[in-house]
Amino acid sequence: MLEYRGFDSLGTYCHSLRVVNFKQVSYSQLSKGSRAIVAKFELATSHEVQLGIDWYESAWSIARRIAKQYDMMTATVAAVIAALSPNNKWERNVKDAENIIKAFKYGEDDDVMAVKCCTYTMNKIKALNILKTKDLNYPAILKGAKTIEFYHCIMLEDDVCIDGHAYSIWYDERLTMKEVPNIGKKLRATIKQDYKDATSFINEELGTDYLPSTIQAITWVTHKRIYNV
């Protein structure tokens, strides 16, 4: 069982503790995918471990800063970032999100749609709808499983973002994005459970309190370094 402080859906720091239950898992109980995740974690340098630990907290801080600047909720900014994330590098993703938000704050819908982004037009429409809605159910607008997971992770919620790299780590091969299959609901649930089991094993072995999203981030950083992707 892991207790940790976090943030609510609006981006407000919660002093009350949330509880995440992890079952204890021995190495012999780990699936092939979980063992691959553990193996990739073991290849991480100390610097990569720290980068992974900091990754989503840094993403939350970026969303929070933009939210304060444009007088909106952190959750709204996080959802816009997630909406614009497909096929978009992180640095440009953040830049695109801030440009979209600025255009929305000081312009009209047409100004928002005129912003050049490194993602698909449909994702800009999602970002605009997120900014316009009064309903805080942003996952209903995001729709895509990966973008919803990314949104949850930016908001420091208990989830794992299963993208092509996360799949490659789990599959234990260097795959191009074209080689990654469509990750359906059942497969996605299996991969998420394997990340959770790998996290439980690592925490038990090292006496740490990593979240599955942190292990995903650490192994993602490590995977990128090993394969130069």
C-alpha distances in Å from residue 200, one per residue of 20, 60, 110, 123, 131: 11, 24, 48, 35, 37
pLDDT in tens, 55-104: 999 999 999 999 999 999 999 999 999 999 999 999 999 999 999 999 99
Residue 213 lies inside a defined structural domain of this protein: yes
Structure confidence at residue 229 as a pLDDT band (50, 70, 90): confident
In a domain, 17, yes or no: no
Tell me the pLDDT tens digit for each residue of 181-213. 999 999 999 999 999 999 999 999 999 999 999
With 90 as the cut, is the pLDDT of residue 8 above it? no
* Residue 12, pLDDT above cutoff 90: no
Q: Predicted confidence band at 9 (pLDDT cuts at 50, 70, 90)?
A: very low
**pLDDT over threshold 50, residue 18:** no
In a domain, 220, yes or no: yes
Residue 80 and residue 102: Cα distance in Å, rounded? 12
Q: Who's near 127: CB < 8 A, 6+ residues apart?
A: 80, 83, 84, 97, 100, 112
User: For residue 138, is it within any domain?
Assistant: yes
Q: What is the pLDDT of residue 22?
A: 58
Q: Is the pLDDT of residue 21 over 80?
A: no
Domain, as residue range, for 164:
2-10+26-227
**Mind listing the pLDDT tens digit for each residue in 134-165?**
999 999 999 999 999 999 999 999 899 999 99
Within a domain: residue 63? yes
Strand pairing category for 13-20 and 2-7: antiparallel
| Structural domains counted in the chain | 1
CA distances from 92 to 56, 84, 99, 156 (A): 16, 10, 10, 21
CA atoms within 13 A on the CB side of 193: 12
Whether 15 maps to a domain, the answer reads no
Asked if the structure places residue 18 within a domain, the reply is no
Cα dihedral across residues 17, 23, 28, 31: positive or negative = negative
- pLDDT above 50 for 3: no
Given this model, what pLDDT does residue 59 score?
A: 98
In a domain, 19, yes or no: no
Structure tokens at 197: 């089991």
Work out the pLDDT band at 15, boundaries 50, 70, 90: very low
